[in-house]
Amino acid sequence: MSAAPVRADPIEEHVAALAAVLHGPERDKARMLDELRDGLVDTADALVEQGLSGHAAARRAVREFGTVGQLAPSFQHELTLIQARHTARAVALTVPVLLACWYLVGMADLAQGRQLPAAAQLLAAATGGVAATAALCAAASLACTGALARRLPVWHRLPLVVAWTGTTAGIAFALSALALTTASAMSGNWQLSALAGAATLVVHARVAASARVCRECARLPAGGPVPA
């Protein structure tokens, strides 16, 4: 005698299929899918009360909620914007701290009558300018995708712009870290320079990783009309 085949849960299958095509910050993705699962279960429970079997109710709930193809564009659009906001926030918050850090290193060297090598100073000025511009772009993007989006539609290429802003800031941080590390080897105050270089490297890793996910999300097809 063989056991009856176990039928897969249509709700879990549907949520898993949707999860497989969505990209973005894991916590937000999980939250949105958890809510969707809750809604499907509630709908199926209501259908069971109306007399359907558990499996038939789950299948009908899935049908009423929409196919993966119908749901994925709106879920992905929201996840892409959330990721863009994460990246923009990372850039906007860390750049001022790093600029202050670099400034303190420069001031400490000056106070001791020393200066960074000319090449390092030039590189620091250039990367500082790039990082500051990136921070301004990131802050503007945060505003455009937040409360301001009540009045203005979000430009569909904004997530891509944020992704490349984050990438540019990440490159600027990497170059700065290189300059600071090199300078620290030559500097009398090498501990402070090395510390600033290490902090810059940590921030570079965080911003670059966020920008990479943002680029992946932004490359995905928008699909359908783009809400604010």
Partner 1 sequence: MRDDAVRGHLDGLLLAVLESGPLHGYAIIAAVQERSRGALELRKGTIYPALNRLERLGLLRSEWESVGERRRRRYRLTDAGRRSLATERAAWREFTAAIGSVLDPAPGAAT
Footprint on this chain of partner 1 (rule: CB under 8 A): 28, 31-32, 34-36, 38-39, 42-43, 64-66, 70-71, 74-75, 77-78, 81-82, 85, 145-147, 149-150, 227-228
- We find the least distance from the C-beta atom of residue 23 to partner 1, in angstroms, to be 14
Burial class (CB in 10 A: 0-12, 13-18, 19+), 72: buried
Least distance (Å) between residue 20 CB and partner 1: 16
Q: Which residue, 22 or 177, is less far from partner 1 as judged by CB?
A: 22
DSSP codes joined into one string, 106-134: HHHHHHTT----HHHHHHHHHHHHHHHHH
Q: How far is CA 152 from the centre of its chain?
A: 22
Which tokens is 173 given? 């941080």
Q: How far is the CB of 227 from partner 1 (least distance, A)?
A: 6
Count CB neighbours of 16 within 10 A: 14
Rounded distance, CA 48 to CA 56, Å? Answer: 9
To which residue do tokens 């600033």 refer?
A: 196
Q: Which of 84, 103, 202, 224 is nearest to 149 (CA)?
A: 84
Q: Is residue 145 within 8 Å of residue 84, measured between CB atoms?
A: yes
Residue closer to partner 1, measured from CB, 81 or 161: 81
Looking at beta carbons only, is 81 or 90 nearer to partner 1? 81
Closest separation in Å from C-beta 199 to partner 1: 31
Nearest approach, Cβ of 32 to partner 1 (angstroms)? Answer: 6
Q: Which is nearer to partner 1, 71 or 205 (CB)?
A: 71
Closer of 136 and 149 to partner 1 (Cβ):
149
Does residue 209 contact residue 163 with C-beta atoms inside 8 Å? no
Least distance to partner 1, CB of residue 150, Å:
5
Nearer to partner 1, 81 or 172 (CB): 81
Residues near 74 by beta carbon (within 8 Å), at least 6 away in sequence: 224, 227
